[in-house]
Amino acid sequence: MSNYTATERERSLGTIIKELTADLSNLFHNEIALLKLELKESASKLGGGAALLAAALFLALIGLAFLFVTITLGLVALGVPAWLSALIVTVVLFVVAGVLAMMGKKKLENVNFVPSESIDHIRGDLDALKADVARVRSR
């Protein structure tokens, strides 16, 4: 037995299409609202995690500084004058920083910052679309 009443059976095709369009529009708007809500929730979680990682990095850098102070004081305890101990630690830090900078520069030289393969694919797609449009217009 059908759930439709007589008035529902008598609806015009235009009314049905209008209602279907409204329902699809409603569905689309609801899906967008859900997507926005999920993205906002993910962003807040990401922000909290990033803040914790930034705090951890900050504390690790402070710990690293104290490690170098400890090394300097260790050299002083071994009988090396304080100024020479500080100089040794400073020179070692600058040498390591220089080596890391050169290694980083070498790695960055090999990076292609322009996504040329993607650009070529997009250009090919655009050329194909232009050819299709030209073919349709010539008919």
pLDDT for 5: 54
How far apart, in whole angstroms, are the C-alpha atoms of residue 55 and residue 49?
10
Q: Are 130 and 124 in contact (CB under 8 A)?
A: no
Is pLDDT of 81 > 90?
yes
Query: Read out DSSP for 86-124?
Result: HHHHHHHHHHHHHHHHHHHHHHHHT---S-HHHHHHHHH
Is pLDDT of 95 > 80?
yes
How far apart, in whole angstroms, are the C-alpha atoms of residue 40 and residue 109?
37
Is pLDDT of 4 > 70?
no
Task: Using pLDDT thresholds of 50, 70 and 90, give the confidence band for residue 3.
Answer: low
Instruction: Report the predicted TM-score, pTM, of the whole model to 2 decimal places.
Output: 0.50
- The pLDDT > 90 percentage for the chain reads 37
Mean predicted confidence (pLDDT) in 31-50 = 84
Mean predicted confidence (pLDDT) in 4-29 = 74
Is pLDDT of 1 > 80?
no
Q: Residues 48-61: pLDDT tens digits? A: 888 899 999 999 99
- The pLDDT > 70 percentage for the chain reads 91
